[in-house]
Amino acid sequence: MQDMEYKEKSHGRNEAAMSSNQEFLFEEAEQNKSNSPFFSNVQRSTLSDDLLRKESPNLRLSSPLTSGGSDSRSTSFFMALNSTIENMEQRTQQLIDKINGNRKNDHEFMNTFRENLLMKVSSLAEKLEERVFYVYDHNSKLIQDKLQVFSEIMERIRQIETELRQVCNTVEILYKDLCGQAEL
């Protein structure tokens, strides 16, 4: 019987030490959360209310499993339960902060990517424009040369046409002269 009482007392002391250590860690985490930019005012006030509830000395929880003698065991149980819940809340908040941090990093990455992409697209568009102007200039020179040759050929055709008309007129005049002499 004494052995069992000793175990309960030492177990109670261990739980009390763990509980006070966890309370300190929770209070420190709560202080950090209040400075966090990702915590809303509603969440801060809720956490403050939770702290006030936790520190209330008149809080008595009754359970059909507990009797007058095991009141310290039920208090220890609920303190451990509160500690577990607080750890879960703290871990959840850490995960939320990590998610928000990752989202912020992703947003910064996307902005940087967008800026770099715009710069590269702009650079490529400028290079393409320069290349198009080079091709336009080159093609314009080729077309100009061909138009010059075409103009020279057309001029030569006009000259030949004029010469051909003159030859035709001369042949016609000679024919008329020959036909007129034959009749005489």
Q: Is residue 136 part of a domain?
A: no
Q: Is residue 91 part of a domain?
A: yes
Domain housing 41: 2-55+70-128
pLDDT at position 70: 61
The whole-angstrom separation of Cα 32 and Cα 24 is 12
Four-residue CA torsion sign, 105, 107, 110, 116: negative
pLDDT at position 40: 46
Q: Is residue 162 part of a domain?
A: no
Q: Is residue 181 part of a domain?
A: no
Q: Is residue 107 part of a domain?
A: yes
Rg (CA), the chain: 51
Our measurement of the distance from residue 145's CA atom to the centroid of its chain's CA atoms, rounded to an integer in Å, reads 53
Kindly state the greatest CA–CA separation across the chain: 172
The whole-angstrom separation of Cα 154 and Cα 150 is 6
Tokens of 125: 């568009």
Residue-wise pLDDT for 31-62, tens only, equals 555 455 444 444 444 444 444 444 444 444 44
Residue-wise pLDDT for 141-161, tens only, equals 999 999 999 999 999 999 999
Cβ–Cβ < 8 Å for 51, 27: yes
Q: Is residue 141 part of a domain?
A: no
The pTM of the whole model exceeds 0.75 = no
Q: Is residue 34 part of a domain?
A: yes
Domain count, the chain: 1
Per-residue pLDDT of the chain (184 residues; tens, 9 = 90+): 455 554 555 555 555 444 544 554 455 555 555 455 444 444 444 444 444 444 444 444 444 444 445 677 777 777 777 888 888 999 999 999 999 999 999 999 999 999 999 999 999 999 999 999 999 999 999 999 999 999 999 999 999 999 999 999 999 999 888 888 777 6
Q: Is residue 115 part of a domain?
A: yes
